[in-house]
Amino acid sequence: MSKIGIVIKREYSTRVRKKSFLILTFLMPVLFVVLMAGTVFLALTNEGDSKTIQVIDHTGEYTSVLQDTGQYKFAVTADNNTDYRNQSDESLYATLIITDDLLKNPKAITLYSKQQVVSSASDAISSQLNEYLSEKKLLSYNIPNIKEIVEESRIEIEMQTIKWDDAGNETEGSAEMASIIGIIFTFLIYMFIFSYGGMVMSGVLEEKTNRILEVMVSSVKPFDLMMGKLIGIGLVGLTQFGLWAALIVGVSLVGQSFSGSMEAVSEVNSILTSVDLISITIYFVVFFIGGYLMYASLFAAIGAMVNSQEDTQQYMMPITILILFAFMAGTYSAQNPDGPLAFWTSLIPFTSPIVMMVRLPFGVPWWELLLSIGLLALTVIFTIWLASKIYRTGILMYGKKPTFGEVIKWLKY
């Protein structure tokens, strides 16, 4: 076995056999589901807790218009109540005061509160009043059957979205599903690059601070050591992803066998198959490999440059910002997967692995994919070259933190 092979084997096997790896791999999906369910649950319970808005209506006209919504209750108070300002009733959320006919004077309505009023409260009031007032206005024109005409004129279209595949066959498309899948894959690749890149850095740092490298560099080329580490840890990442994919396939297969009784599952399945998950998964792997190698090689260089975990912060900063920016760009691109932001950031190598994941479920022209992968591959070659130069010198340098000037000098050695 070649040197790189021996190093890869160690990096891979020591990590995969760790208990923390196994626990994390099988617990993460569970944790993810629990978190999602928890958020939904909390959001639902929040609605049951309704807030009271006190209504003081000088005209007496609108009190019957305001109906309680799930979130807000309206309590009518006598209009001569003037000390509302001093009320210390905790249950009272806000006070609505209407002083005049709103058709004549639309500004004669004010909402008071001791807190900043959330928009859902003012929306609940204005939407109800707007509807009532526009109806009242229409009626004031005295046109016969106006109510029926208005009812009839309310048209809602029901549009289906259908995606054509290359052969022109129709598949049912779902933009929501596509963006959800896109976001999930974006999040996954972001998380993978960050955590496995970080693993590379702490691995290099461990070898450096424990002075292991000194023992090894006489028998292994630094480049082999670095590549072995990069590849070995990358394989750990792919293993984890593979296990998750297997887990999801397994669960959905079990779900399918019950699908006779559970229509919801088969419905989810049909939507899932509408998005080409298999090709997305393949592209995920390709972009993960590219993005991981690009960032992890830089992380390896940082690990070789510094002498302790604390020193890494300064050098990590620009890379962290870059990855975070890519993640943000990815999230925004979900709204507009063909917009200029999505287009450019999915071509620029430092953001493309993350942003491309959002765009994939919506379909990306093949030349863009090819260009993106090509640019990424070139960048990977460059960053690995750069990192290996820094790594080679850095791993045997102890003492003070190198300045950027010194690091640039290392490139010339």
Partner 1 sequence: MLFLETKDVVKQYANHLALNKVSIQLPSKKVFGLLGPNGAGKTTLIRIINRITAPDSGEVLFKGRPLEAGDVYNIGYLPEERGLYKKMRVGEQAIYLARLKGLSAIEAKKRLTVWFDKFGILSWWDKKLEELSKGMQQKVQFIITVVHDPELLIFDEPFSGFDPLNAEILKNEILSLRDKGKTIIFSTHNMSSVEEICDDIALINRSQVVLRGSVEEIRSRYRNHIFSVKTETELKNFNPSVGEILSSNKGYRVFEYRIRKTEGISNTDFITSLVEDNEILSFEEEIPSMNDIFIQTVKEG
List contacts with partner 1 (CB under 8 A): 1, 3, 6-7, 10, 14, 206-207, 210-212, 214-220, 396, 398, 406, 409
DSSP class of residue 262 equals -
Cβ proximity to partner 1, 14 vs 336, nearer residue: 14
Phi first, then psi, for residue 285 (nearest 5°) are -60, -45
What does the alpha-carbon distance between residue 105 and residue 155 come to, in Å, rounded to a whole number?
31
- Least gap, CB of 321 to partner 1 (angstroms): 30
What DSSP letter does each residue of 107-131 carry, written as one string? T-EEEE-SSPPPHHHHHHHHHHHHH
What does the alpha-carbon distance between residue 220 and residue 24 come to, in Å, rounded to a whole number?
32
The answer to whether 91 touches 52, Cβ cutoff 8 Å, is yes
Between CA 345 and CA 279, with CA 232 as vertex, the angle to 5 degrees is 45
H-run or E-run covering 231: helix 222-257
Sequence-distant (6+) residues with CB within 8 A of 69 are 50, 124
- Least gap, CB of 15 to partner 1 (angstroms): 10
Cβ proximity to partner 1, 217 vs 286, nearer residue: 217
- Least gap, CB of 398 to partner 1 (angstroms): 8
- Least gap, CB of 307 to partner 1 (angstroms): 12
What SS3 class is residue 291?
Answer: helix
Cβ proximity to partner 1, 57 vs 207, nearer residue: 207
Cβ proximity to partner 1, 9 vs 163, nearer residue: 9
- Of the candidates 240, 58, 270, 244, the one whose C-alpha atom is nearest the C-alpha of residue 171 is 270
- Least gap, CB of 170 to partner 1 (angstroms): 56
- Least gap, CB of 209 to partner 1 (angstroms): 8
Cβ proximity to partner 1, 359 vs 389, nearer residue: 389
Cβ proximity to partner 1, 276 vs 406, nearer residue: 406
- Would you state the torsion angle of the CA atoms of residues 309, 313, 314, 319, taken in this order, to the nearest 10 degrees? 120
Could you tell me the two tokens for 96? 């609505």
Could you tell me the two tokens for 204? 């290099």
Cβ proximity to partner 1, 7 vs 53, nearer residue: 7
- Least gap, CB of 345 to partner 1 (angstroms): 39
